Every structure is written in structure tokens, then in C-alpha cells.
Amino acid sequence: EPEVTQTPSHQVTQMGQEVILRCVPISNHLYFYWYRQILGQKVEFLVSFYNNEISEKSEIFDDQFSVERPDGSNFTLKIRSTKLEDSAMYFCASSRQGAKYEQYFGPGTRLTVT
């Protein structure tokens, strides 16, 4: 069964550094999402992406964040200048046409900002 994959599984970075989190959605899916979960807190929506553009973004997704689909398979989340409070688990998800809310999640990337 196809799965969403994410790399790396754990990323440690220093405050102020740029970080890129990578995701490979399920191949026939058209909607892509990033969520994050700070330790002990709720899963929070960051952004959704469809047809090569951002469909929706939350207040968390400020100018420090960007997403890109650089080729036909990868979907990336970039944080330009990381802050301590960006430390969290970042989940990528994808869904197919006609079933936007049946979102398939990747295993997550744990980002630690020191």
C-alpha cells in the first residue's frame, strides 16, 4: 500500500538557521498539507497546497515559512530562520481528488531547534 514518506525523521538545527523538511506524497494524490504538533499540544494546521499553489494557510504560517513542489514527487516545507518555538513534530499529509479530508499522513519529522 502506498505511503507518504518524510525525511529526515529527526532534524536538529541551531536557532536562526534555515531548514527544509521533505515529503513525498502518495503519487496520485493532488492535495498536500503540512501540520505540526508541539510536544504535549494539539496537531495544528499550517498550510494546504493544490494545483501548485497554496490553497489555505493558518496564522502560524507566516513569512518565515514557505512550501514548494519542486518536481512531480516532492513537497517541501522551508523555515527560513528557525526559532526555538519552531521545535515540533511536522507532519506531511496528502489526499486524493474527491476525498480531501481522507488525509494520509507521513511518519513526521521531529525538528529540534537549539
Select the residue interacting with another protein from 55, 81, 97, 114 (CB under 8 A): 55
Whether the ω angle into residue 8 lies within 30 degrees of 0, i.e. cis, is yes
Residue 66 C-beta: closest distance to another protein, Å: 17
CA gap 108, 45 in Å, rounded: 14
Tell me if 101 contacts another protein by CB under 8 A.
yes
φ/ψ region of 98 (left if φ > 0, alpha if ψ in -120 to 50, else beta) reads left
Tell me if 27 contacts another protein by CB under 8 A.
no
Tell me if 60 contacts another protein by CB under 8 A.
no
Residue 61 C-beta: closest distance to another protein, Å: 11
